[in-house]
Amino acid sequence: MLKVLDSAVPIACWSCAVAHNESTLFCPHCSKIQPPPGADYYSVFSLEPRLTLDLGMLEHQFHKLSRKLHPDRFARATPEEKDWSLADTALLNDAYRTLRDPIRRTEYLLKLHGAEIGEEHSGKGRTDPSRVPADLLEEVFDLNMQLEEMRAAKKMGEEDPDLKQSLTEAKKKFDGLLDDVDNDLRTQWTAWDDGDASARSAAQKTMLALLDRRRYLDNLVRDVNETLGAN
């Protein structure tokens, strides 16, 4: 569910017919439930589309809306309203899960602004070489070799303590690199939220590179955890 940021299109409430400009789950005039709005996740919570987000406010809004959408409240409602309460709840949950997570939120908002992220967009053309984290490749490759060795040894019922030690250290290092990336991303959030058009586009480019780097690291840490954890 990804729609253009446009909450300015007036929608007439099905119940009271008063037009409202908000992509809201409930009519601001008569408080009746509305069909799932086709706008973005931010407007579901009446939040500004920013990367820096007040998570307390988000959670508060989520609980408030969840209560209002509870099926018990629609026990005697029309079939349409019952359906909408379910569809709105699904939308609300998706929106909350996406915005609560700093990485998913960043990817979501950049996608809303036209950035191409993820495997589904990569078939269109050649990979921009600037987006390949070259300094990481060598380490990534070596680590993968060690992981393969470790898995092979495990299959044979053997365990190499040196290899385990080295993997544990590598994991620590990559965990640290992940933290660095997350901190760098947070720095860019401010530039993106508050900057002018050119600052915003520079921040977007930096963030896309950081997200790529993060995906690499994330996959690695996951693989190391799986291999080390399967004891």
Partner 1 sequence: MAYSDKVVDHYNNPRNVGTLDKSSSEVGTGLVGAPECGDVMRLQIRVNPETQVIEEAKFKTFGCGSAIASSSLATEWIKGRTVDDAMAIKNTDIVKELSLPPVKIHCSVLAEDAIRAAIGDWKKKNGVAEAAPAATATAQ
CB of 116 to partner 1, least distance (A): 10
Please state the closest distance from residue 113 (CB atom) to partner 1, in A: 19
Q: Is residue 111 near partner 1 by the rule CB under 8 A?
A: no
Instruction: Please report whether residue 152 would count as binding partner 1 according to CB under 8 A.
Output: no
Q: Does 21 bind partner 1 (CB under 8 A)?
A: no
Q: Which listed residue (119, 158, 162, 196) binds partner 1 by CB under 8 A? A: 119
Pairwise CA distance, residues 140 & 120, whole Å? 23
Quote the least distance from Cβ 127 to partner 1, whole Å: 6
Alpha-carbon dihedral of residues 101, 213, 208, 7, nearest 10 degrees?
Answer: -10
Token pair for 23: 């992509």
Give the span between the Cα atoms of 152 and 82, in whole angstroms: 54
C-alpha separations of 57 from 50, 61, 70, 108 in Å:
13, 6, 20, 19
Cβ pair 205, 158 in contact under 8 A: no
- Tokens representing 218 are 């994330």
Compute φ and ψ for 168, nearest 5 degrees. Answer: -65, -40
Q: Which of residues 185-224 bind partner 1 (CB under 8 A)?
A: 212-213, 215-216, 218-220
CB of 110 to partner 1, least distance (A): 14
Q: 122 or 168, CB closer to partner 1?
A: 122
Binding segment toward partner 1, per CB under 8 A, in 5-13, 61-69, 91-99, 132-140: 132-140
